[in-house]
Amino acid sequence: MSRRTILIFTLSTLVLLGLVAGLFTGSMEMALGAPQGPQMMANMQGMPQTQGNRQANTPGATPQGTAPIKNNQQNQQMNILATDTFQRQDQALWGIASDGRQWGGDANAKDFFTIKGGKGQIAGGQGALEAVIGLPTDNVDVTISGTVNQFGNNVNLGTVLRWRDTNNWYKAFIGGNQLSILKSVNGKPTIIVQTNVKTDPGVAQTLRFRVFGTTLFAKVWPSATTEPQKWMLVADDHTFATGQFGIRVFEQPTTVITITSFNAATAAMGNTI
């Protein structure tokens, strides 16, 4: 065979192989995992996802093993430390609060404390009386609402924080003409800060007392009005770090103090008003 014939045969063979390769390229690409056509991609997108993918791709989902984020209402509910609406039958002593916690201190020991008409009453006492509730803790925000039938002769209505015992505590109270923050150390009381605020006898007042870290906050307002945005008293004190919370009053034999609500919540940086 001549060289010319061999060359022509070789060229013809290469051309034929090129044509065959062109015809089967699409099938080979599919077999080798090349990108699929629109119909195949649609079919693949319709395939079920794994559990892990569903969690990652579902709006609002959390990674597996992570607790979901609670909304604000749930957080507020979890922050409640104690609450009492006093909506229970008339009885001697204060007994069990509406949240199931038991009152302590004088509230379940001295008959000056009663439940009457769906309200907590402290009447006919002489000197200091107190009702404490909850476990000892540090940062607490307490709000109480109530009335005092008369002021004068040291009669006052207050709430206590970081209460250790009858001789060691912080107290915010109203006495008819002042709002004060007081501390007692080993039975010796000291006014930390006070301001002139007129609170009329027989008019329902709401008193809020808060401690966060070493800072004490207090304010009072008539219960029928809107809570003021600003704290009336702010002070710093390092005496007590933890303790219980509750109510502390000072009475004369003719004093009648009525409490309509009590609420204690965890104080945090977010609830500064």
SS3 track for the chain: CCHHHHHHHHHHHHHHHHHHHHHHHHHHHHHCCCCCCHHHHHHHHCCCCCHHHHHHHCCCCCCCCCCCCCCHHHHHHHHEEEEECCCCCCEECCCECCCCCECEEHHHCCCCEEEECCEEEEECCCEEEEEEEEEEECCEEEEEEEEECCCECCEEEEEEEEEEECCEEEEEEECCCEEEEEEEECCEEEEEEEEECCCCCCCCEEEEEEEECCEEEEEEEECCCCCCCCCCEEEECCCCCCEEEEEEEEECCCCEEEEEEEEEEECCCCCCC
**The predicted structure's pLDDT at residue 56:** 35
- Residue 34 scores a pLDDT above 50: no
CA–CA distance, 202 with 218 (Å, rounded to integer): 21
**Which pLDDT band holds residue 218 (cuts at 50, 70, 90)?**
very high
Which tokens sit at 178?
């002042």
What is the pLDDT at residue 9? 59
| Domain spans of the chain, in order of start | 3-57, 73-266
pLDDT digits (tens, 9 = 90+) for 96-136: 999 999 999 999 999 999 999 999 999 999 999 999 999 99
pLDDT digits (tens, 9 = 90+) for 77-88: 559 999 999 999
Q: What is the mean pLDDT of the chain?
A: 81
Contact between residue 194 and residue 178 where contact means Cβ atoms under 8 Å apart: yes
Enumerate the β-bridge partners of residue 142: 209, 264
User: Quick one: average pLDDT of 201-221?
Assistant: 98
Lowest mean pLDDT among 22-31, 94-103, 124-133, 140-149: 22-31
What tokens appear for 172 in the block? 């915010």
Residue 41, token pair as written in the block: 């991609």
CB 91 within 8 A of CB 114: yes
CA distance 94 to 117: 13
Q: Does residue 110 or residue 273 have the better pLDDT?
A: 110
Q: Mean pLDDT over residues 179-188, rounded? A: 98
Mean pLDDT, residues 11-26 taken together: 52
Rounded mean pLDDT, 31-54 = 38
d(CA 32, CA 206): 77
Q: 4: Cβ–Cβ under 8 A, 6 or more apart, which residues?
A: none
Quote the CA–CA distance of 131 and 159 in Å, as a whole number: 9
Does residue 26 surpass a pLDDT of 80? Answer: no
Choosing among 3.40.630.30, 2.60.120.560, 2.60.120.620, 3.30.365.10, the CATH entry for 73-266 is: 2.60.120.560
Per-residue pLDDT, 268: 84
Is the separation of the CB atoms in 58 and 95 below 8 Å? Answer: no
**pLDDT: which is higher, 198 or 6:** 198
Phi and psi torsions of 41, nearest 5°: -65, -40
